[in-house]
A and B are shown apart, each in its own frame.
Chain A
Amino acid sequence: MALFGWVGKILRVDLTTGLISEVPTANYVPKYIGGRGVGAKIHWDEITPAVGAFDPQNKLTFMTGPLVGTPAPSASRTTVQAVAPMTYPEELYSSSTIGGHWGPELKFAGYDGIIIQGKSASPVYLWIHNGLAEIRDAKHLWGLNTYNTQKVMWETHGKKTRILTIGPAGEHLVRMAIILSDVSSTSGTPGYGAVMGAKNLKAIAVNGKGGVPVARPQELLDLTYYYQRLITRKEGEAEPPANYRQQRCGAGSYLGSQLEEEAKNGTIRAGMSGCFACPVCCGLSIKVKDGSLVGSGDIRCLEMLTHEREQAYYGGKLKGRPAYETWTLADLLGISNVRFWERSWFLTLIDRGILTKENTGLPVDKLGSVEFYRELLHKTSYREGIGDLLAEGESRVCNYFGGEAIPIWEITAQVAGKHGGSGGWNENKLGSIVRLGSTISGLDSRGLYHHSYDPKKWVHPPGCKCGRCTPLTPEEYRAVKSAQDKKWYGSENAGDLTTWEHKAPMAKKHIDWRVMTDSLVTCMNNFPLTTSNYTPDKLGDISVERRLFSAVTGIDMAEEEWIKTAERIYMLERAILTRHGHTRAEDWFFESIFKENSTWLDKEGLHKTLDEYYTLRGIDVTTGIPKRSTFEQLDLKDVADVLENKYKVKLSA
């Protein structure tokens, strides 16, 4: 059967034996779609709970999806899967995504994905080109920062080559190590850079002359254009471009910043950058004209958050060029800078005197300066001095100190039990509590990391500084939010943070869409597109992903089947947790979280909502374990059998 969208082969590389083989993608698709779905299936099939993040038995998978490499908007991404270094206390399976242009190039080179297993005896890299794959010596690359690694490899393999690389942090098995491509496209949160480091795998380079076949090209092009026009306008058109690009990753983050000031003065050149075939182009590209600044390139994704919160991060002191310099340093070293700043655990440890200048050797008195940050990142990336402890990540650092550091950790991690902890994939666990709504949406979501839900991203909100639009009034903005909640999530209450009502259905819908986004693989910035600046009612169109899938693959799916596909992938991920012993007890917050948020986070409400959510999912309300009937309805009977027979889990009917 000819496949469209998928190019038909997944590469398997065994770094212990040096053996390279190919697995038919058709073993997994269309049932699991791609990306996160296929990643979960491979992990379920091939890994046991005993495997740790740094074990040679851990398998690191990179999965694109059927849309990647086609003009389907924002379908540029690759998901990365493995047992993750950052998960705590138990090392656990997680999933991450990386954008840019690597995934499409892997498709052009002839592969839908890669499975990396084993461990090389010495540093190597993978070179994949035109349907051939080789393991090559990387001694000349080991130790290089991420940009220099790529420079050397571009000289060897040509500029069209796209590279995933680790830096010194990954080489030193720093749990917050990232995998990076080009300048700022990264896989960050779970720490997979350290998994590559543990396998002595420095980089994966891909280059291909092939293409991605599309079943219904004109339909794809028409849908792409339709979707582009929901998202944005071109420069020169009367209507201004979408808020997202105007303001860079959230309202007001670039406009009015020091970097914008410099661009106006001409001391830096600031432009846009975008992932393959993406109409959003959310990246901010920076060139410092006097050549004085370390690094170059662009700012993407989560880096935009630290930029956006110039006020809040780094103790409020780093702005403009110094901030840009520190993000670039983190990219060069291949370490996640976001992990230090998430929920301020690190600053709080310093604030409370648990980490001091004396016991860290860091210039804590210069906190917030580039000098402090350089010291911190270098020491951590090379595991020098205190860096050896900090490299273990916030959960392990706080638990090392114990005592007063525990509540700090609990605020960061939020989720209790052995599958809690931050830095992992929270899809089947409680995630970040920012607002009441996100508590339950966080019930299976990366802390409501679903940019497209936020209307501010796509309509010009109150206070918009772009200078070219007529921004919504606060009343109009609230009306759009209510309308969005009602139309897509089923109730005006869906986003109402003062009530538990409708939070469970909202969470389920939200997560199902996220699962599909992560399987195709498109971008959570704009999928599903709940709002639009360019429609009369300011609402978007959430059917587009499913229709793009059909145009590319030729497989037509009604919405019901689409959601069932999402539920199936989700339930497979839940099964992975279940075989780790995950029960309802693990879907709960620390006591300190309830105390901290006692004005609105009541246990009774949370219990009821959890009951409701479990019922929607077909998870047993008492145990938190999926029912056998749920597995069977989702065509996962074999999974239920394995849970009962191999892992001795009792499934209710």
Chain B
Amino acid sequence: MAKSSSSRSKDTTVAPAKGNLAVNTDICAGCRTCEAVCSLFKEGISNPELARIHVFKDELDGYRCEPLPCRQCVRPECLFVCPTGALHVDAVTGARVIDEKTCDGCQLCIKACVYKPPRIRFNAQKNVCFKCDLCGGNPQCVKFCPTGAITYKAKR
């Protein structure tokens, strides 16, 4: 049964993230180094299904590629809907992050994400949701993207 909406109203605001990931689709080559590195760094195994970033590819449309990171929304619908508070604002980076220990795997955040495909995924083995946390301030996808298609944009 779906939990009732959280006590936080739509008027609630949270501190914006200090920056987020920007993408340049002109130079994304679809190599998915970001997916391999992200999953290995965050989960200890190289598995794109466990990456916090994914590259959309349309091979038959001129091999069009677009990295799809979490936008660290100013109004994070995922955070507003989280019933346990697992999804919160990181004190250091301002990133919208999920505390695995308090996440109960309800997946309301995934449904709430305004982007399609959602930028949050579910780990069936751990029964928790996972998303980009900007690697605590040193995003690995930015570091390892060979072309520079993914960059970190600081806000203000």
Contacts and interface: CB of A to CB of B under 8 A. Distances in A.
A219 to B, nearest CB: 11
Contacts of B61: 287, 296
A30 to B, nearest CB: 19
A37 interface: no
B2 to A, nearest CB: 26
B59 A182 contact: yes
Contacts of A150: 59-60
Interface stretch (B31-39, B67-75, B82-90, B95-103): B31-39
A281 B29 CA distance: 6
Interface string A567-599: 000000000000000000000000000000000
Interface in A191-233: 209-214, 217, 220-221, 224-225, 228, 231-232
Interface in B12-32: 24, 26-32
B63 A271 contact: yes
A275 B40 contact: no
Contact of A211 (B29, B47, B140, B151): B47
B139 interface: no
A272 B59 CA distance: 12
Nearest to A213: B45
Nearest to B125: A209
Contacts of B105: none
A272 B64 contact: no
B50 interface: yes
B63 A210 contact: no
A101 B31 CA distance: 9
A211 B62 contact: no
A286 interface: yes
A462 B2 CA distance: 67
A468 interface: no
A234 B145 contact: yes
Q: Which of A183, A210, A279 has the most CB of B within 10 A?
A: A279
Contact of A237 (B28, B60, B148): B148
A461 interface: no
Contacts of B31: 274-279, 281
Nearest to A208: B49
Given A276-B32, A296-B60, A71 B48 contact: no
A365 B33 CA distance: 48
Nearest to B47: A211
Contact of B147 (A159, A234, A275): A234
Interface residues of B, number: 39
- Chain A CB within 10 Å — which of B33, B36, B149 has the most? B36
B146 A278 contact: yes
B147 to A, nearest CB: 6
Most A CB within 10 A of own CB, among B63, B140, B149 = B63
Nearest to B39: A211
Contacts of A234: 145-148
Contacts of B63: 182-183, 271, 273, 283, 285-287, 296-298
B155 to A, nearest CB: 19
A297 B46 contact: no
A224 B48 CA distance: 17
Contact of A221 (B40, B49, B59, B148): B40
A343 interface: no
Contacts of B143: 225
B144 A71 contact: yes
B129 interface: no
Interface string A92-115: 000000000100000010000000
B115 interface: no
Nearest to B32: A276
B32 A297 contact: no
Interface string A72-108: 0000000000000000000000000000010000001
A101 B24 CA distance: 22
Contacts of B147: 234-235, 241, 245, 272, 281
A70 interface: yes
A182 to B, nearest CB: 5
A512 to B, nearest CB: 27
A269 interface: yes
A69 interface: yes
A228 B144 contact: yes
Contacts of B27: 235, 271-272
Given A183-B59, A281-B146, A209 B49 contact: yes
A179 to B, nearest CB: 16
A277 B38 CA distance: 12
A288 B60 CA distance: 12
A278 B149 CA distance: 14
A236 interface: yes
A151 interface: yes
A214 B43 CA distance: 11
Contacts of A286: 62-63
Residue of A209, A224, A236, A273 ringed by the most chain B CB atoms within 10 A: A273
A182 B146 CA distance: 21
B33 A279 contact: yes
A147 interface: yes
A273 B41 contact: no
A208 to B, nearest CB: 8
Contacts of B148: 234-237
Contacts of A272: 27-29, 147
B26 to A, nearest CB: 6
A151 B65 CA distance: 17
Most buried by B among A150, A183, A245, A281: A281
Interface string B48-59: 111000000101
A224 B37 contact: yes
A232 B46 CA distance: 23
Nearest to B33: A277
B116 to A, nearest CB: 14
13 contacts: A69-B46, A108-B48, A108-B49, A217-B40, A220-B40, A224-B144, A234-B146, A269-B62, A279-B33, A279-B146, A281-B31, A281-B146, A285-B65
Given A234-B146, A272-B27, A280-B146, 19 more contacts: A69-B36, A151-B60, A183-B59, A211-B39, A211-B50, A214-B45, A217-B40, A221-B41, A231-B146, A232-B146, A235-B148, A271-B26, A271-B27, A276-B31, A276-B36, A278-B33, A279-B146, A283-B63, A285-B64
The 7 closest A-B pairs by CB, nearest first: A287-B62, A211-B47, A234-B148, A279-B146, A285-B63, A274-B31, A281-B29
